[in-house]
Structure 1
Amino acid sequence: MKRKILGESILYVIIHVMIQMLILFLGPAIYTYSKSPLDWDTWIKGHQLILTVIGWFVLCFILWLIYRLNRQKFWLETKLSETVSVITIGICIICGVGMNLFVNGFLWLLPLGEMFPEYGQVIERIINQPFFITLLLAGIITPIMEEIFYRGILLGKLRQGFGVVVAIGIQALFFGIGHMNLVQGIYACVMGILFGYVVIWTGSLYGAIILHVVINTTSILWRHVIPFQPEGGELEILILIGAALTIIGLWFISQTDKREEQNMYTFKS
């Protein structure tokens, strides 16, 4: 049972990678055929956000069809049918801001762009995109799609064969690897664990979606609208504030719903 569940989860990840690769190939190929020859690498870098979002929509549609063919209820299985309270939404927003301060504080603290050039290139591509396009695609749509896939589909499936702790760990590992660079992969894996527990605590996917969207949108706002670069003691203060908001926020979220607490360390068959 566990091997089957893990195998299906890995298959979904492979399908995701193949779709993204296909979209990245077909996009410039179609444009070249319809317009004029161009530098594929340059074109992909300039349109990577929209190509990635297209890939996510294609993937979610395919997986929705698979659920339909297997007579499974997509919205129920992915926890999209469950709602969260207004209070929980507010706490998630505050917690998301805290996570952003904490993570970006450490990213500002270290010269990661110099230590890991691929990370610097990813950030530069995002910054160089038009603000509203970046906000919509990277700040809102992409995190929603990622939560549906990793915390909705994968976590839901993995929980059928593994305990909560193991299932959260596996999907978080997939989430980290999916970012395709070391820096983002490390903090994405940690975030994936926290997002996974938020889904378990609230019994809904929407808490994790709100957290993820807030983290992404605040990062984009600070890089585009408020190019704030903390100096000296400001950095330590931001990290401490971020840590406090994150810890307090997660504690409050963990208290919002205890429906699955008794199953936290049990295995589902």
Structure 2
Amino acid sequence: MGFLQTMELAWPAEELKKWKSMKKAVYLLLPLFLYYVVHDLAQIVLWGGLELMLSGNDGVLREWLIQNGQTANGMVSGIAILLGMLPIWGMLKKEALPVWKKKGNVTSYGVLAAIALCVSMGVNILFFQMGITESSAAYTRVEEAQYGVAFAIGLVLYGVISPIAEEAVFRGIIYNRMKRCFSVKLAVPLSALLFGLYHGNTVQALYGFLLGVIIAIVYERSESFAAPVIFHAVANVTVFTVTYRNGLRDLNSAVAIGLAVALLFFAAGLGVWYLKLCEMGENKYITNK
């Protein structure tokens, strides 16, 4: 069996215990490496091809690109993300897709979406009020790039393409592999840490880690790949929509902090309800079997 074939299979925990640490590390990180390399190469090729196509062209398309550079960058990034998923598709089919929508219903997914909305809003309001986002030059640059895209393009990019791709890599493949290599208790923070570091600057890394922990727990309890995708998508769309025109800057500080705390407490209550719904789903699933 070839190296890539070996790395593509969903090996059971009993077999992974026999592997050396270096081989385990490659097994865990290769999906991210493949995605990252193909994604970046695709961006370079796409921008290079676009520049060649436009060289010497003073027409309408060039003028549009000059005026809408961030939107064009978002569109290229979306295509690159989709291309980045190609080398990991075989791994995803073996690791995550067998449990796609295994459990869950409209009610549980609705509660999950409400939790994602409350958590993302609450945490981002607190970050803003504490000055965490304002103090980071790297975060400001990322924010300018993200919110420079046309609103409709941003919704598709951050609400559909990015959540599916990132969940495929970090929960669908890496988390599933980590919990077989180690344990669920270790896989949750480790996968969340990797997810946070992937986002680069300190602020987004911290937010990514917090979100990663919650999403991994959601995935584990729901046993459905649809659940983390929904959570991630709603969280992204919520933050993008609310902050697109600097919506958080207009809030009174005391009101904002009170709202953030209320949202997080409400999210905690919804979380308890969601866990109960997952338990009911498990009992129903066992009974039906």
> Matches of residues 1-269 of structure 1 in structure 2 within 5 Å?
1=16, 3=21, 4-36=23-55, 46-66=71-91, 72=94, 75-76=97-98, 79-224=99-244, 227-228=247-248, 229-258=250-279
User: How many angstroms does 1:182 deviate by?
Assistant: 0.9
For 2:255 and 2:113, the matched residues in 1 are separated by: 22
> Which has the higher Rg, Structure 1 or Structure 2?
2
Taking a change above 3 Å as real, the CA distance of residues 214 and 67 of structure 1, as seen in their structure-2 partners, is closer
| Structure 1 runs (4+) greater than 6 angstroms displaced | none
Aligned with 1:22: secondary structure?
helix
On the 8 A contact 1:105/1:236 being kept in 2, the answer is: yes
- Aligned residue pairs, count: 253
Taking a change above 3 Å as real, the CA distance of residues 94 and 66 of structure 1, as seen in their structure-2 partners, is closer
For 1:238 and 1:9, the matched residues in 2 are separated by: 39
For 1:116 and 1:32, the matched residues in 2 are separated by: 32
Taking a change above 3 Å as real, the CA distance of residues 260 and 179 of structure 1, as seen in their structure-2 partners, is farther
When structure 1 is superposed on structure 2, of 58-67 and 92-101 the one drifting more is 58-67
Taking a change above 3 Å as real, the CA distance of residues 191 and 256 of structure 1, as seen in their structure-2 partners, is same
For 2:247 and 2:91, the matched residues in 1 are separated by: 44
When structure 1 is superposed on structure 2, of 120-129 and 12-21 the one drifting more is 12-21
For 1:55 and 1:125, the matched residues in 2 are separated by: 16
TM-score (norm 1): 0.84
Identity of aligned residues (%): 20
Aligned with 2:104: secondary structure?
coil
On the 8 A contact 1:100/1:215 being kept in 2, the answer is: yes
User: How many angstroms does 1:163 deviate by?
Assistant: 0.7
Taking a change above 3 Å as real, the CA distance of residues 36 and 100 of structure 1, as seen in their structure-2 partners, is same
User: How many angstroms does 1:5 deviate by?
Assistant: 3.6
For 2:25 and 2:281, the matched residues in 1 are separated by: 22
On the 8 A contact 1:169/1:193 being kept in 2, the answer is: yes
Aligned with 1:241: secondary structure?
helix
For 1:193 and 1:204, the matched residues in 2 are separated by: 16
Taking a change above 3 Å as real, the CA distance of residues 94 and 83 of structure 1, as seen in their structure-2 partners, is same
TM-score (norm 2): 0.78
Aligned with 1:160: secondary structure?
helix
On the 8 A contact 2:111/2:274 being kept in 1, the answer is: yes
One-letter identity of the residue aligned with 2:107: I
